[in-house]
Amino acid sequence: MTTNDVGYADYQDLAADHGYRDLPDLADRRLGAGVLAANDELFAERENLLRPEPAVFQPHTFGPKGQLMDGWETRRRRGTAARPHAGTTDHDWALIRLGLPGVVHGIVVDTAHFRGNYPQRISVEATELPGTPGPEQLLAADWTELVPPSPVQGHAANGFPVADRRRWTHLRLNQYPDGGIARLRVHGEGRPDAAWLAALGSFDLAALEHGGRIEDASDRFFSPPVNLILPGRSREMGEGWENRRRRDEGHDWVRLRLAGRGSVRAVEIDTANYVGNAAGWAAVLGFDAADPQAGDPADPAAPGWFELVGRTELQPDALHRFVPTDARPATHARLDVFPDGGIARLRLHGSLA
């Protein structure tokens, strides 16, 4: 048994050059995404498509239906166009509810560890439906093609840019004629229901699930800054934002675009699970892009930046709570950490202006 049989030595990342990979995954299970139905999942369950961790392969682990695979795998099609398997069409499909409705910039169909049993082609369709529709309503919906039927390679991250900039709530992943897909990633910009946010009144303006977004960061070495605005508390060190150790006089930072222009009334900085590598100090600043005198939020020296929480010492593995010193509206925020170190979560509670 060679490394190529069980690992990633020959894995091809065909989506690596696409800029959309830095955008959040709208189909992240942690945001509430789900695979609602599939026409076939004989060999491996459809729910595996949205697992956040990379797919793994354990050789010679057989169940009653064959080798256990970490992905969604359908049976070999033995029907014909005239007589397909009962309840199927000429291809296999799965219905996906996005955890965060929004604009899709790119899709990654990952066939990791599927070397002789991956599909020949895939396609992806999208629809927008209100509420929480079930499979029956989705199958009867009108669908728009985001990715036309396209060839894919086995044991590879197959990337597909998407040009349509409309808002979507659900996807249909099709594979032709059958086969296995390990993971599906849907990178884009979240656009939650504006009426729902208005009804909430007060909420976390930075949260990914509410439309907050990481615009830039000084360092992404150990883990991505988008972890800062994921739902819930982190369960381990890898679920926060951790930068490398600085050997200069600078400091690390993350710039966020808030869900909307709003006033921040409470700030939480959580260093959970960072024991020996938490940030030593932190500060939080706001910026109102609606102010014509504010300048560019990408400029850390722009006159529009104002202090929400001044530089404050942090404790490891602890939740810190602050009342901002300035209540003016903001469209952006910046978290500065001194000189470096890990932060698990950032919460900016407030309401839309």
- Tens-digit pLDDT profile for the chain (353 aa)? 333 456 788 999 999 888 899 899 999 999 999 999 999 988 889 999 999 999 998 877 777 777 777 899 999 886 544 444 444 468 999 999 999 999 999 999 999 999 999 999 999 999 999 999 999 999 999 999 999 999 999 999 999 999 999 999 999 999 999 999 999 999 999 999 988 898 998 999 999 999 999 999 999 889 999 999 999 999 889 899 999 999 898 999 999 999 999 999 999 999 999 999 999 999 999 999 999 999 999 999 999 999 999 999 999 999 999 999 898 999 999 999 999 999 999 999 999 98
CA 119 from chain centre, in angstroms, equals 24
Dig out the tokens for 236 from the structure. Answer: 């381990």
* CB proximity list for 337: less than 8 A, separation 6 or greater: 243, 251, 252, 253, 279, 280, 281, 282, 343
Domains in the chain: ranges and CATH? 3-190 (2.60.120.260), 194-352 (2.60.120.260)
What single letter denotes the amino acid at residue 334? R
279/5 Cα distance (integer angstroms): 41
CB–CB of 39/176 below 8 Å? no
Query: Residue 243 has what DSSP assignment?
Result: P
CA distance 48 to 182: 7
Q: Is 302 helix (H, G, I), strand (E, B) or coil?
A: coil
